[in-house]
Chains A and B, each alone.
Chain A
Amino acid sequence: MKRYVFVLLIFSLFLTGCWDRRELNELAITLALGIDKIEGEYEVSAQVVVPSEVSPKSSTGSSPVTLFRAKGETVYEALRKMTNESPRKIYPGHLRMLVLGEELAKEGISESLDLLARDWELRSDFYVVIAKDKTATEILNVSTTIENIPANKMFNTLKTSESSLASTKGITLDELIADLTSEGKNAVLTGIEVKGDQEVGPSKQNVETITPSATITYDYLAVFKGNKLIGWLTERESRGYNDITNSVKSTVMPISCPGEGEASIEVIDFNTDMKGKFKNGSPEVDLTIEAEGNVGAVECKIDLKETETIDTLEKIYEKELKGIINETIDTLQNKYESDIFGFGKAIHRSNPKEWKKIKEQWNEEFSELTVNIEVNMKLHNTGTLSNSFLKRVKE
């Protein structure tokens, strides 16, 4: 008898349930968060999936996501205040995008990021972007095609453009915090903007036409100095940034032909080696770029059957790439005076003792820094054609 009572007692342990159980239908799965600062208060907006609209069976044709907004003195408070509006608690475990408003970025971003790094539910594999000329809420308020969840569209677009064009850069929270805290490198973030008719953007109508009235597109890189956004790079400079920091996976670069017209080089392998050193007591950086590519398209009359032509194209590419890189470094050294490339880090790695002496005035040193650039391009193939038909086209 005693034994039965004991067994029953043991079993009763299993009836108590679990403190931390959370059923799927109690979660508001959030895929994108936006943070703005309005009149000294944080406004947080969360793009939350509407589960019934995502499944094709029960879809009624309304928007697959919804946006909750709340204001608070801190980001955390604002996030909790959302429960005033949302029937479920915000669950950020699957977050893909964090959009920061431009105004907030100009005032300084780091204070708003602490919660996201500290909270246990969040993972650090989401991208951080800056809403250019807009608030984050406006960016999250646009419906999209192909990927009907806007956050997924933003995530995938950034991933694709980063790896096949290399004028944007997907930066995760960890990388951003590392850039904000480490010596000898300042942060960059990719800008995001809404083009077209902002009025129609939020409605489902937006995606009913072939050309959506409002679209979300990526702009180029935003330059930070310390905690604050100080300006934007152009497309060329953004590419230059990716060239310098070895972030290019594949890209297409137009170069000018020996005569007239243009040719496009498809870069298939790109490797930048950055080395810092001290020469006569002053810091220097060597950039060695090894690239491989193909002739992607020819819009001029050159003879691709000649090896010399290939050599000339390689030379032109090398020269023009150097031009882009020099231009980028020049802008950063003179216009923004911010070392976003991590030159300081490279110098630190090579000579920690000397670095200690100059790190306090690194921003000034950076503007004076000499950068030696060497580019080696190897062109292999010319696609499925040898010579272009352009030569034979009748006048």
Chain B
Amino acid sequence: MQNVKINSSQFLILVILFTVGTSILTIPSALAADTDQDAWITVIIGTGIGLLVIWLYTTIALWFPSLTYVQLNEKVFGKWVGKVLSLLVIIMAFLYTASLLYYSGTFLNIHVMPNTPLVALNILMMGIIVMGVRLGLETIARSAEILFFVFLILFLSLVVLIAPGIQIENIQPVFEAEAKKIIKSSIFYVAVASSNAVVLLMVFPAFINKVKHAKKSFIIGNLIGGIVIIIVTFLCISVLGPEKTAREIYASYELTKRINVGDFIQRIEAVSSTLWIISVYFKAVLYFYASVLGIAQLLNIKDYRPLTLPLGMIAVFLSIIIYPSISYQVNWDETTGTYFSLFVGVVLPLLLAVVYGVRKKSLKKDSGSS
């Protein structure tokens, strides 16, 4: 269909930004609400489980290195069952594009521009997302390479500047939360940070140069993203304290408000919103790319580009109506959203692996003859 290829280091960066995505701003408070000062331990466990999920993806994907996930579904499950299951993945990707638009717009609305209509902010964001997807995967990957360095520098300086505010008393006593709660909220973390990465199977391995390297990139990228979240969560808990972290909607933004070096370097919270806009943008672009490409492949359309503009408009509209209020969004994310992500991101791939195991021989024959 297309001859675009990105290399494995570009893919690594995309995976990191995808994993960090929305988690950097929302995960600390969501987890602190459940497990108090042990939230950072939860993230460590969640990252561990998440790596297993990613390993599952790479294994599945490498059975047919030239196919995207949508094509893979059709191959393994047969035409019609495959199409239905693919539709679920596409619905998830598209729904989350709209959801991320809502996230970024609401964030700006709450913290920076309360009087600007949400729709105006979302149109701007969607504009550059559509632009990115129209220009293709290679362009997205290259701009990710450039912006990743901005991301890295801002993130590291944030960590260094906030480090003097760490109070170890805030994370004590360690392991107070019940094991059951820790497991439960680390599953939530897996749903947010890892199982959504199933949409990356639309990129990996079909559009990647050296698939063997890229397998490593997928796993390492998820790990690095996880470490970023671990650090941010740890900083939130140890600087703000568990209660305050749980109360804030965007805890890591509140964290940057605390930076004050000698009454001189202060009021630099714009830094953390830059960080977040970068990571949310790439997460949204990848979701949108996956949904547009998925629809094109589902309907056997040769080029996905004509779909970008109309779907972009629908996404903007959807982002306005998707959550009636912020409380609804928080609840949805923690209940329905989690189950949905886990179903599409873990149950379906496992099902695919089982069916593949059963039909292995006939499938091999198929691909051999065609």
Contacts and interface: CB of A to CB of B under 8 A. Distances in A.
* A and B held together in a complex: yes
A111 to B, nearest CB: 16
Contacts of A177: 244
Interface in A1-55: 18-20
Interface in A338-366: 345, 348-352
A19 B244 contact: no
Interface in B88-121: 110-117, 120
Contact of A19 (B110, B120, B240): B120
Interface in A176-199: 177-178, 181-182
Contact of A182 (B113, B173, B243, B258): B243
A181 B243 contact: yes
B221 interface: no
B237 to A, nearest CB: 13
A20 B117 CA distance: 10
A133 interface: no
B226 interface: no
Nearest to B172: A349
A352 B117 contact: no
B345 interface: no
Interface string B255-268: 00110100000010
B116 A174 contact: no
A123 to B, nearest CB: 6
A120 B169 contact: no
Nearest to B108: A20
Contact of A352 (B113, B173, B240, B260): B173
B257 A352 contact: no
Interface in B315-340: none
Contacts of B244: 174, 177-178
A124 interface: yes
Interface in A91-134: 117, 120, 123-125
A282 to B, nearest CB: 19
Contacts of A345: 169
B176 interface: yes
A178 B243 contact: yes
A233 B120 CA distance: 55
Interface string B226-247: 0000000000000011011001
A181 B243 CA distance: 8
A349 B173 contact: yes
A123 B243 CA distance: 17
A120 B110 contact: yes
Contacts of A178: 241, 243-244
Nearest to B177: A352
Nearest to A94: B267
Contacts of A352: 173, 176
Nearest to A342: B169
B126 to A, nearest CB: 15
Given A123-B257, A178-B244, A182-B243, A20 B115 contact: yes
A128 to B, nearest CB: 15
Nearest to B257: A123
Given A349-B169, A349-B173, A352-B176, A120 B114 contact: yes
A70 to B, nearest CB: 21
* SS class, residues of chain B in contact with chain A: loop
Nearest to A180: B243
B173 A350 contact: yes
A19 B114 CA distance: 9
A19 B173 contact: no
B113 A20 contact: yes
A115 B360 CA distance: 62
Contacts of B260: 125
Interface string B108-138: 0011111111001000000000000000000
A19 B117 contact: yes
Interface string A152-184: 000000000000000000000010011001100
Contacts of B240: 174
Contacts of A20: 112-116
B115 to A, nearest CB: 5
Interface in A66-85: none
A115 to B, nearest CB: 14
A266 to B, nearest CB: 25
Contacts of A18: 116
A91 B114 CA distance: 14
B319 to A, nearest CB: 18
A18 B114 CA distance: 12
B171 to A, nearest CB: 10
A19 B169 CA distance: 43
A174 B116 CA distance: 29
A158 to B, nearest CB: 15
B107 to A, nearest CB: 11
Contacts of A124: 257
A178 B244 CA distance: 7
A19 B115 CA distance: 6
Given A19-B117, A349-B169, A120 B111 contact: yes
Nearest to A119: B114
B21 to A, nearest CB: 23
B27 to A, nearest CB: 21
B13 to A, nearest CB: 30
B257 A19 contact: no
A19 B116 contact: yes
B276 to A, nearest CB: 16
Contacts of A174: 240, 244
A19 B113 contact: yes
B173 A348 contact: yes
A125 B256 CA distance: 12
A38 B257 CA distance: 34
Interface string B45-76: 00000000000000000000000000000000
23 contacts: A20-B113, A20-B114, A20-B115, A120-B110, A120-B111, A120-B114, A123-B257, A123-B267, A124-B257, A125-B260, A174-B240, A174-B244, A177-B244, A178-B241, A178-B243, A178-B244, A181-B243, A182-B241, A345-B169, A349-B169, A350-B173, A352-B173, A352-B176
Q: Which 4 A-B pairs have the closest CB atoms?
A: A19-B116, A20-B113, A349-B172, A352-B173
Interface of B: 110-117, 120, 169, 172-173, 176, 240-241, 243-244, 247, 257-258, 260, 267
Given A18-B116, A125-B260, A349-B169, 15 more contacts: A19-B113, A19-B120, A20-B113, A20-B114, A20-B115, A117-B247, A124-B257, A174-B240, A174-B244, A177-B244, A178-B241, A178-B244, A182-B243, A350-B173, A351-B173
